[in-house]
A and B are shown apart, each in its own frame.
Chain A
Amino acid sequence: MNIVAPESLIFWTTIIFLLLLILLRKFAWKPILGAVRTRETSINDALDAAEKAKLEMQNLHADNEKLLQEARAEREAMMKEARELKAKMITDAKDDAKVEADKMVAQAQAAIESEKKAAIAELKQQVATLSLEIAEKVVKHELSDSDKQMKLVNEMLGDAKLN
């Protein structure tokens, strides 16, 4: 038993321990444990946030991929449409041009025909007139003396076989 005076140690140990407990609790354990807890929460939060960010990134990546796919498909569709449109336009244009051309040709032909007809008619008229004039002149000339008139009458009479 290594005791000098039990009351001394009981008294001082109690006082010192309680004081130490109070002091350390206020100045050491609370701040340290608080800091540790705060840091642990912040680490956990950061890890959670990182996990979330990763997931979001994945989602975003998937979204991007989808968007890209969509864009690609859309482009493809647009290209196809454009091509189709182009082909159609070309065909349409060709058709239109052909129709127009045919129409123009037909018109031209009609115009030519009518011009031709008109020309022929005029020619006929001219020829008739000319023939008449010639005939007139010939007749005039033929009938300038009575002999000839007589001869003609005879001739005609000769031709004009009474039938």
Chain B
Amino acid sequence: MRLTQTLIGSLALMVFLLMPLKGTASDPNPEQGDGKFDPKELINSHVWDSHEFHIADWSGHPITLALPIILWTENGLTIFPSSEFHHDNTGTTVVEANGQQFVKYREHIFYADRFDQEKFEATSTMGRPFLYEDRPLDFSITKTVFSMIFVSLLLVLIFGFAARSYKKNKKAPKGVSGLLEPIILFVRDEIAVPNIGSKYQKYMPLLLTIFFFIWLNNLIGLIPFFPFSGNVTGNIIFTLVMAVIVFIVTIFSGNKYYWKHILTPDVPKALYPIMIPIEIIGMFTKPFALMVRLFANITAGHIIILSLVGLIFIFETAAISPVSIAFVLFMSVLELLVAALQAYVFTLLAALFIGQAVEEHH
């Protein structure tokens, strides 16, 4: 299995190294007309979410998979393919749909009449996605969502197949199930049982789904070509949702000891004004840490790899490429480890939090 991963990694790396060469040569760069290489643009274009799935460039024209744009506008639900924007990200191409006009600026879709470039640029990066007064609610199948669906289908297929083989083969597992069973048992015996205890069975589906979903998403993000390369786990909204799901499960699993620990901790009553807020903040910091850890680890890995590739273009010499290749190879192998490790850590901490909530007594 490790050999296969390394093989895929190296193969992916090769394609990865080829892609920016093509991409940067012809990327329509909205900010810079001088054709100078901007590593920030390169990195952002790979790490950011987008409304279309960029596959490759062919003689200056980007080849993309047009993903559907689904908007909840003032006129109701509006759906049209992202190809209607003709790869425009500068807010100049106006698309008419459902009696309204839309523009796309830096992957954000606005009502054409309300779009104000000055205002957008003046808004902080953090605030830009939340300019709801100027844009419709955007429920588009973005690249990230597409990757997520792709990974989900892959998971259902793989595990459905594995589950079927158990029906036929009652003896020792072989084939796909032989490969997956040790991992499933690892999640059960090393994550669920030690942290949750006797009630682990109830949480096994959740933990297994979290583990494999995050792991496969991490791995998919490392493969730099279509239909992979979607940076799902490096997206803070994705990790936010995952953390919130864990949080909700924890809250609803909490028994009376859990709530007693938070609301009436074993300290003198005088300390309650300090302790209770601390405990309540503690409830939220745990999933917050989950969210940030996964997001930061994966994003950092992607940025490092892309920066190392970017070195070649910053120095504008092929002589640096052996250094880049060596470092990128090293980082990619490391990222393979991080992909599994972060999935493990997320699942482990989820199990730990749930375990604390269902613990019978101290």
> What are 22 A-B contacts with C-beta separation under 8 Å?
A1-B236, A2-B44, A2-B231, A2-B236, A4-B50, A9-B144, A12-B139, A13-B238, A14-B241, A16-B149, A20-B155, A20-B156, A24-B205, A28-B160, A28-B162, A29-B159, A31-B163, A32-B159, A32-B184, A33-B188, A35-B163, A36-B185
Partner of A4, one of B51, B160, B180, B201: B51
Report whether A24 and B126 are in contact in the complex, using a CB–CB cutoff of 8 Å. no
Report whether B50 and A21 are in contact in the complex, using a CB–CB cutoff of 8 Å. no
Is the C-beta of B145 less than 8 angstroms from some C-beta in chain A? Answer: yes
Instruction: Chain A residues near B138: list those with CB within 8 A.
Output: 4-5, 7-8
Report whether A28 and B241 are in contact in the complex, using a CB–CB cutoff of 8 Å. no
CB distance from A5 to the nearest CB of B (A): 4
- Given known A24-B208, A32-B177, contact A13–B148 (CB-CB < 8 A): yes
Report whether A20 and B47 are in contact in the complex, using a CB–CB cutoff of 8 Å. no
Instruction: Chain B residues near A2: list those with CB within 8 A.
Output: 44, 47-49, 231, 234-236, 299
Q: In the complex, what distance in Å separates the CA atom of A25 from the CA atom of B109?
A: 37
CB distance from A20 to the nearest CB of B (A): 5
Q: State the main secondary structure of chain A at its contact with B.
A: helix
Q: In the complex, what distance in Å separates the CA atom of A3 from the CA atom of B263?
A: 36
Report whether A32 and B181 are in contact in the complex, using a CB–CB cutoff of 8 Å. yes
Is the C-beta of B141 less than 8 angstroms from some C-beta in chain A? Answer: yes
Instruction: Chain B residues near A16: list those with CB within 8 A.
Output: 145, 148-149, 152
Residue of B nearest to A31 (CB): B163
Instruction: Chain A residues near B145: list those with CB within 8 A.
Output: 8-9, 12-13, 16
- Given known A2-B236, A12-B145, contact A19–B49 (CB-CB < 8 A): no
**Residues 138-181 of chain B, each 1 if its beta carbon lies under 8 Å from chain A, else 0:** 11111011001100100110011011001100100000010011
Partner of B237, one of A9, A17, A28: A9
CB distance from A28 to the nearest CB of B (A): 3
Partner of B137, one of A7, A12, A21: A7
Residue of A nearest to B302 (CB): A2
Q: In the complex, what distance in Å separates the CA atom of A39 from the CA atom of B171?
A: 8
Interface residues of B in 61-88 (CB under 8 A from A): 70
Known: A9-B49, A20-B213, A29-B205. 5 other contacts (CB 8 A): A2-B235, A4-B142, A16-B148, A27-B163, A32-B162
**Residues 227-239 of chain B, each 1 if its beta carbon lies under 8 Å from chain A, else 0:** 0000100111110
Which of A11, A13, A25 neighbours the largest number of chain B CB atoms within 10 Å of its CB? A13
Is the C-beta of A6 less than 8 angstroms from some C-beta in chain B? Answer: yes
Report whether B160 and A27 are in contact in the complex, using a CB–CB cutoff of 8 Å. yes
Q: In the complex, what distance in Å separates the CA atom of A161 from the CA atom of B257?
A: 166
Question: Which residues of chain B have a CB within 8 Å of any CB of chain A?
Answer: 44, 47-51, 70, 107-109, 125-126, 128-130, 137-142, 144-145, 148-149, 152, 155-156, 159-160, 162-163, 166-167, 170, 177, 180-181, 184-185, 188, 201, 204-206, 208-209, 212-213, 231, 234-238, 240-242, 245, 299
Instruction: Chain A residues near B242: list those with CB within 8 A.
Output: 13, 17
Residue of A nearest to B127 (CB): A1
Instruction: Chain A residues near B125: list those with CB within 8 A.
Output: 1
Report whether B231 and A28 are in contact in the complex, using a CB–CB cutoff of 8 Å. no
Report whether B205 and A32 are in contact in the complex, using a CB–CB cutoff of 8 Å. no
Instruction: Chain B residues near A11: list those with CB within 8 A.
Output: 139
- Given known A8-B142, A10-B237, A35-B166, contact A24–B156 (CB-CB < 8 A): yes
Report whether A4 and B108 are in contact in the complex, using a CB–CB cutoff of 8 Å. yes
Instruction: Chain A residues near B166: list those with CB within 8 A.
Output: 31-32, 35
Is the C-beta of A148 less than 8 angstroms from some C-beta in chain B? Answer: no
Instruction: Chain B residues near A29: list those with CB within 8 A.
Output: 159, 204-205, 208-209
CB distance from B169 to the nearest CB of A (A): 9
Q: Which 8 A-B residue pairs are closest in the complex by CB-CB distance?
A: A28-B159, A5-B138, A9-B237, A35-B166, A25-B205, A13-B241, A31-B163, A12-B145
Report whether B48 and A4 are in contact in the complex, using a CB–CB cutoff of 8 Å. yes
Q: In the complex, what distance in Å separates the CA atom of A20 from the CA atom of B154?
A: 11
Instruction: Chain B residues near A39: list those with CB within 8 A.
Output: 170
- Given known A12-B145, A29-B205, contact A6–B237 (CB-CB < 8 A): yes
Instruction: Chain A residues near B236: list those with CB within 8 A.
Output: 1-3
Q: In the complex, what distance in Å separates the CA atom of A116 from the CA atom of B345?
A: 133
Instruction: Chain A residues near B126: list those with CB within 8 A.
Output: 1
Instruction: Chain B residues near A17: list those with CB within 8 A.
Output: 209, 213, 241-242, 245
Q: In the complex, what distance in Å separates the CA atom of A62 from the CA atom of B129?
A: 83
Report whether B155 and A12 are in contact in the complex, using a CB–CB cutoff of 8 Å. no
Instruction: Chain B residues near A4: list those with CB within 8 A.
Output: 48-51, 107-108, 129, 138, 140, 142
Q: In the complex, what distance in Å separates the CA atom of A36 from the CA atom of B186?
A: 13
Is the C-beta of A30 less than 8 angstroms from some C-beta in chain B? Answer: yes
